A and B are shown apart, each in its own frame.
Chain A
Amino acid sequence: MSNTATITIRPEFEADGIGKAKTDDVARKLTLFERILEMHGVRKLTILVLLIVAWEVYTRWSEVSAYILPTFSATAAALYEAIIQEQLLWMVWNSLTVLVAGYVIGLIIATILTTAATTTRFGNDILSTLTAMLNPLPAIALLPLALLWFGLGVDAIIFTLLHSVIWPVALNAHVGFMSVSETQRMVGRNYGLRGLVYVAKLLVPAAFPQILMGLKIGWAYAWRTLIAAELVFGGSISDTSGGGGGLGWFVFSSQMDLRIAHVFAGLFMVILVGVVVESVVFNAIENRTVRRWGMQAR
């Protein structure tokens, strides 16, 4: 009763018929221009075109030496020439085969380490200690040692690649397995999953976002390491393997010959391969898996 002094009492009412909202904008189709702006690809392409135009305009107007910074058109011409006449694509292929070999062997070792770490406490200690020690060590710093142990050749490069693949892949997969929710583990056991079937049907898909993250990081590290290793002793690789060397070697030898436009063309190819693998291959995997499942933010 004392409430009436402090609150304002108004009559109650019920709306007896709610009409349609008068605005047309409850759900309106976006215009063509709005839809184009929504496309990430279009926005990124615009930035790329602007950069290229700025590059071309700057190099032509400032008359900077072509040995320092060639024009975009010269670089494009060099790229075309290198692909047609100097088997640049073949060199990319050489690099990729070495990379894939190192990547696959690395994944096998990482799988063994992760299995040990996930199933036993000792394995867990081994993995965390090794990762803490070796992850900060740049793979390329192992190259001198690798040369000593394996000689000049593909083996030494693969050894350094292993180092750049194993730690990120094993660490991420291990964290992924560890962070599978207790509820999901209990669900799996409830429906009778045991042993390897439990791992394959429950733990791996549940930890897949982190596993994929590890695979991506491992790939990126390996690609950088490979190009760097080929730059350091690419010439020797081409001598011993006789296959014409890899992409890193192309960049290195072009610089030796003072064909600066070709250096730029080689670097462009390095970027292109990296972008294709990371944003096309891995993106496709992500779209079909973790994004579709709502296990990762868009």
Chain B
Amino acid sequence: MDAKNKAVAEKKAATANPILEVDGVTLQYKTKEHLITATYRVGFDVFPADRFVLLGPSGCGKSTLLKGIAGYMKPVEGAIRLKGREISDPGPDRVMVFQEFDQLLPWKTVKQNITFALQNGGKTSSAAEADDIAMEYIQKVKLAGFEDTFPHMLSGGMKQRVAIARGMAMEPDVLLMDEPFAALDALTRLQMQKELLQLWEDTHFTVIFVTHSIEEALIVGSRILVLSPHPGQVKAELNAHELNHDNVGKKNFSSVQQRIHDMLFADRILEDEILAETDRK
């Protein structure tokens, strides 16, 4: 099993160049009182058509890492390169889908939210063409009939679908998803995971997906980067391209799940010991 995975991975690596290279990246940010090191010398490569998952407990810097890739933060050490060019600013070649529902602009309808992105992001200057593209993606995420609705009339799941449609319509080099389904109820989340995989079957877009759920990582991802917390460091990189909804609960699924669980749980114990130590002092 492992040998087969490895062979597939090697074949992929041999035939394609990475689309995104994260090279020894250390990210820091300031709060009012502290300077926090979110990730320390993290490195990985993302290949075209990867469903690349950043997985880790809270505090492992996975969201910060995604912000770095999006260009909202500059690394203090290392470099992030998209197609060989170093990232310096946010831009429409890396579209972000957020967890928060207010990522949709409330003063624009579903369709306008997408055409706004297309026209300002330099995808097209013609309003008619933007309309056509928007409608195409609205149908893809099964929201036909809601194109002239304002976001506040939509349910949480529908809002996330619009955000995904907006991101995909831009046809970015990589789609960045920051726990996009975390604020949804369990049934809707399951539905959204399935739909995301169906969309991927259609166009084989490259996506980097942040989550703290091991199960979601295995279902959604084809390759999983496991990060340890405080500061985030690479713990492992695993293959999950053969795992999906159908093998949840099966032996191969649960064994990987258990493996990751043990990796993260080891950290948790260590962390608790450190906390206990500092409490005593």
Residues of A within 8 A of B (CB): 181, 183-184, 186-187, 189-193, 197, 201-202, 205-206, 208, 289, 292-295
A193 near B120 with CB under 8 A, answer yes
Which of B95, B98, B120: most chain A Cβ within 10 A?
B120
Contact between B107 and A293, CB atoms less than 8 A apart: yes
For the complex formed, measure the closest distance between the CB of A136 and the CB atoms of chain B, giving whole angstroms.
30
Q: Please provide the chain B residues from 15 to 68 with a CB less than 8 Å away from any CB of chain A in the complex.
A: none
Give A189 to B72 CA distance when docked, in angstroms.
Answer: 9
Given contacts A191-B92, A201-B120, 16 further A-B contacts (CB under 8 A): A181-B100, A183-B102, A187-B96, A187-B98, A187-B103, A187-B105, A190-B70, A191-B116, A191-B117, A192-B91, A192-B121, A206-B107, A294-B151, A294-B152, A295-B106, A295-B107
Given A186-B96, A192-B91, A192-B121, A293-B102 contact (CB < 8 Å)? no
Question: Is B120 a contact of A289 with CB atoms below 8 Å?
Answer: no
Flag if B121 contacts A191 (CB, 8 Å): yes
Complex contact B96–A190 (CB within 8 A): yes
Closest Cβ of chain A to B70, distance in Å, is: 7
Least CB distance, A292 to chain B, in whole angstroms? 7
Between A and B, 23 residue pairs with Cβ closer than 8 Å are A183-B98, A183-B103, A186-B72, A186-B90, A186-B98, A187-B98, A189-B72, A189-B89, A190-B92, A191-B92, A191-B95, A191-B117, A192-B92, A192-B121, A201-B116, A202-B105, A206-B105, A289-B107, A293-B150, A293-B152, A294-B150, A294-B152, A295-B152
Over the window 141-164 of chain B, the binary record of Cβ atoms lying under 8 Å from chain A Cβ atoms (1 yes, 0 no) is 000000000111100000000000
What are the residues of chain A within 8 A of B117 when measuring CB–CB? Answer: 191
Q: Which chain A residue has the least Cβ–Cβ distance from B99?
A: A183
Chain B residues in 8 Å Cβ range of A292: 150
Chain A residue numbers with a CB within 8 Å of B122 are 192
Chain B residues within 8 Å of A184, by CB? 102-103, 105
Residue of B at shortest CB range from A181?
Answer: B102
Q: Which of B106, B117, B152 has the most CB of A within 10 A?
A: B106
Q: Which of B81-118 contact A (CB under 8 A)?
A: 89-92, 94-96, 98, 100, 102-103, 105-107, 116-117
* Partner among B120, B151, B152, B153 whose Cβ is within 8 Å of the Cβ of A191: B120
Greatest chain A CB density within 10 A among B90, B91, B170 is at B90
Instruction: Name the interface residues of B140-193: CB closer than 8 Å to any CB of A.
Output: 150-153, 170
Pair A205/B150 contact, Cβ less than 8 Å: no
Among the listed A183, A191, A208, which residue makes an inter-chain contact with B100, where contact means beta carbons less than 8 Å apart? A183
Which residues of B have CB within 8 Å of A191?
Answer: 92, 95, 116-117, 120-121, 170
Q: Is there an interface contact between B70 and A294, defined as CB atoms closer than 8 Å?
A: no
CA distance A193 to B117 in the complex (A): 10
Return chain A residues, CB-CB under 8 Å to B120: 191-193, 197, 201
**In the complex the two chains form, is A293's CB within 8 Å of B95's CB?**
no
B153 touching A294 by the CB < 8 A rule?
A: yes
| CA of A186 to CA of B120, assembled, Å | 14
Distance between Cα atoms of A131 and B128 in the complex (Å):
47
The chain A residue sitting closest to B67, CB to CB, is A186
A191, A205, A293 — which one has the most chain B CB atoms within 10 A of its CB? A191
When the two chains form their complex, are residues B95 and A190 in contact, meaning their CB atoms are under 8 A apart? yes
Collect the chain A residues with CB atoms within 8 Å of residue B96's CB. 186-187, 190
Shortest beta-carbon distance from A92 to chain B in Å? 34
State the CA gap A190–B98 with chains docked (Å): 11
| Minimum distance in angstroms from B56 CB to a CB of chain A | 21
Q: Separation in Å of the A191 CB from the closest CB of chain B?
A: 4
Q: Which residue of A lies closest to B90 (CB)?
A: A189
